[in-house]
Amino acid sequence: MIKKLDLVLGILFAVATVIFITIFLTNETFFNWAFARHHNVLSWYIRPLFIVPIVIFAFKKSLTGIFGSIFALFTSMFWFPAPAESDPRVLSFLAYEMEYLKGAWTAPKILISLLVPIFFVMLITAAWKRSWKWLLGTVIGAAVLKVLWSVIFSGDAGLSILKPAVTGLIICVGGLYLYLRRREVKSKERSK
């Protein structure tokens, strides 16, 4: 892709993500509609999988791919229909998460919430610079912190994300490993 077009499309996806988050946090009707669909745990399983394309596009230095994948990650919370019924722990955890997002934004809450963009910066930078140890540490650290945050702040209900988080982590690490092995094999074939 032409670098200028990649930059423009990347910026458009980044702006679309900011607009989505702003509407999500400020429009009560949209917030409730999206969260009703977020009760479908399929969205919990799919969201971590977007880490793989984010990393691959960062490796390829494609801003369109990076920010398109981030946009998809955030919007995937409402891709699936609202479930007919939900696990009580899921309901309890999401009630806490909704309250957290709609509650007062104190300094500690802002600092904790800044971990999300910091995660993306670390993830993209690690892949961009091809620092595989830093990348692996970032992916594992994010999964562990998400589970810890969920359990510490919402108690047993936070355990409801353990299975999706661990599954996502295994798939991400496995997917990245396969991608890197494939690149290594192709590189060796080219050097023959």
**Of 62-66, 75-79, 97-101, 153-157, which gets the smallest average pLDDT?**
153-157
Phi, psi (rounded to 5 degrees) for 68: -65, -40
Mean predicted confidence (pLDDT) in 15-34: 93
Q: Give residue-wise pLDDT tens across range 62-95.
A: 999 999 999 999 999 899 988 888 778 777 888 8
Q: Residues 17, 21, 24, 26: is their CA dihedral positive or negative? A: negative
**Confidence (pTM):** 0.82
Provide the residue ranges of all domains of the chain, joining segments of one domain with +. 3-190
**How far is the C-alpha of 127 from the C-alpha of 160, rounded, in Å?**
30
